[in-house]
Amino acid sequence: MEFKDFPLKPEILEALHGRGLTTPTPIQAAALPLALEGKDLIGQARTGTGKTLAFALPIAERLAPSQERGRKPRALVLTPTRELALQVASELTAVAPHLKVVAVYGGTGYGKQKEALLRGADAVVATPGRALDYLRQGVLDLSRVEVAVLDEADEMLSMGFEEEVEALLSATPPSRQTLLFSATLPSWAKRLAERYMKNPVLINVIKDDAPEKLTVDALGTLAPSSDTTDSASADPGSETTSAPDA
């Protein structure tokens, strides 16, 4: 399977081709069909496996360009660090040149980021603390968010961002699509899935970077399952999937 086999706009495929990207990584091949359909998704993948494109491409495909001044963001990506926020913003801009992407992070002054948000943005890539500051100031309005992404959720937990992340998700419409990516799935990630996601599909590409089927038992504990697992044992509120090979 190649990127051209996915339902992506010609300009997105052209951007990928220009960067020499033709074949998706395992996490991209597993996540893209589901994310492009608008499904909520939990992707378990290591850093450096290409997960950024697994959510950047669906955002690029979903959001139409807009020139409205002061427009509210329609996509929100939360990352644990400034460095990752800048990296993700750069990656999203590269595959979605039709979108205005604004990076929001701490460790720097508020002025330029505030001005950029007030001018209008299609997608905001942010660290949770700074994003919550702007939300409380009335600078960041999340009422039109269509896609919310939690990138490296386990790292955000280890850095103590639980309350900030939940406050930000609570400020977005319940109808949004939510994508969560994490190398591990701590209990907090499971609680997020229960509170803020709709029938999330679970994908694991951690083990030898080969997609692995997951199921959710009645207690909400994420656990690997074999292909012979009786689907009736899964929590009816979640879906399972066998991810395709890259």
In whole angstroms, give the CA distance from residue 166 to residue 185.
16
Model confidence at 235: pLDDT above 50: no
Share of the chain above pLDDT 90, in %: 79
What's the pLDDT at 208? 52
In whole angstroms, give the CA distance from residue 108 to residue 40.
33
- Assign 46 a pLDDT band (cuts: 50, 70, 90): confident
Q: Report which secondary-structure segment, H or E, holds 155.
A: helix 153-158
Describe the crossing of helices 51-62 and 26-36 by its angle, rounded to 10 degrees.
30
Mean pLDDT, all residues of the chain: 86
In whole angstroms, give the CA distance from residue 239 to residue 214.
9
Q: What is the pLDDT of residues 55-71, one digit of tens each?
A: 999 999 999 999 999 99
Find the mean pLDDT for residues 158-180: 97
CA distances from 245 to 6, 22, 47, 199, 200 (A): 14, 15, 19, 23, 20
**CA angle, 123 as apex, 67 and 237 as ends, to 5°?**
130
What's the pLDDT at 121? 98
In whole angstroms, give the CA distance from residue 135 to residue 130.
9
What's the pLDDT at 238? 42
Name the phi and psi angles at 167, rounded to 5: -65, -40
Indicate the pTM of the whole model: 0.85
Find the mean pLDDT for residues 94-116: 96
Distance of CA 72 to the CA centre of its chain: 18
3-state class (DSSP) for residue 40: coil
Find the mean pLDDT for residues 163-178: 98
